Chains A and B, each alone.
Chain A
Amino acid sequence: KAGVTQTPRYLIKTRGQQVTLSCSPISGHRSVSWYQQTPGQGLQFLFEYFSETQRNKGNFPGRFSGRQFSNSRSEMNVSTLELGDSALYLCASSFSSGIGEAFFGQGTRLTVV
């Protein structure tokens, strides 16, 4: 079956702009989590959506938001971009958010200039 698809793969934005990233989970998976990866910081949890509801949120400012649609596809939005937002943004899907491995997409590399 198809894996987790993230679009776009690469993105360059200017400070102050806003950006929307997309994630299509594995068919049948209802949980989608978003992570930010930066050098030295590992995978920082942003938020998790399950059946269109945000169930969990990490310690990121309100500029970071997300949503999930009825088909489980999820979007992440970052407003008023800052240079420090440059990172690899990863989406992970799982059947539920219970115990078990998550499947990650290839990520979106965001560069803010």
Chain B
Amino acid sequence: DQQVKQNSPSLSVQEGRISILNCDYTNSMFDYFLWYKKYPAEGPTFLISISSIKDKNEDGRFTVFLNKSAKHLSLHIVPSQPGDSAVYFCAGSARLSGGYQKVTFGTGTKLQVIP
């Protein structure tokens, strides 16, 4: 059961334009969402997060939007730069009994920003 889905395995965007990466989830217990970026031969690095009580969080060129009713979130990168070319993972975090969180990752979207 894939609780976090990234239906686009890849995306190509021209430098300077907007990149929109999408993520759908099925687990209503997720109360926190995170985006990670992964370059080849490196581990994923944290990019941005959003609490389920918010619908938008912005950090520089990166903005995450959350639509709880649609169980959908998206990451916007504006303007896109060649250095943004990487695999982006969406993740949902749910609180389990015992009080700790479990993080579930999506399958990733490979973004290519074309100079």
Contacts and interface: CB of A to CB of B under 8 A. Distances in A.
Interface of A: 4, 6, 33, 35, 40-45, 48, 50, 55-56, 90, 92, 96-99, 101-107
B70 interface: no
B105 interface: yes
A6 B98 CA distance: 28
Interface string B43-81: 111100101000000000000000000000000000000
Given A43-B105, A44-B105, A101-B46, 17 more contacts: A33-B103, A42-B108, A43-B91, A56-B100, A90-B44, A96-B100, A97-B101, A97-B102, A99-B31, A99-B32, A99-B51, A99-B101, A101-B34, A101-B49, A102-B103, A104-B43, A106-B42
Interface residues of B, number: 29
B104 A98 contact: no
A41 B108 CA distance: 8
B107 interface: yes
Contacts of B49: 101
A55 B103 contact: no
Nearest to B44: A104
B19 interface: no
B89 A98 contact: no
B16 interface: no
| Max chain B C-beta neighbours (<10 A), residue from A6, A42, A101, A105 | A42
Nearest to B46: A101
Nearest to B34: A101
B43 A4 contact: yes
Contact of A40 (B32, B101, B104, B107): B107
B98 to A, nearest CB: 7
Q: Which 9 A-B pairs have the closest CB atoms?
A: A104-B43, A101-B46, A42-B107, A43-B105, A97-B100, A104-B44, A99-B32, A106-B43, A105-B43
26 contacts: A4-B43, A6-B43, A35-B105, A40-B107, A42-B89, A42-B105, A42-B107, A43-B89, A43-B91, A43-B108, A45-B103, A45-B105, A50-B100, A55-B98, A55-B100, A56-B96, A56-B100, A90-B44, A97-B102, A101-B34, A101-B36, A102-B46, A104-B44, A104-B45, A105-B43, A106-B42
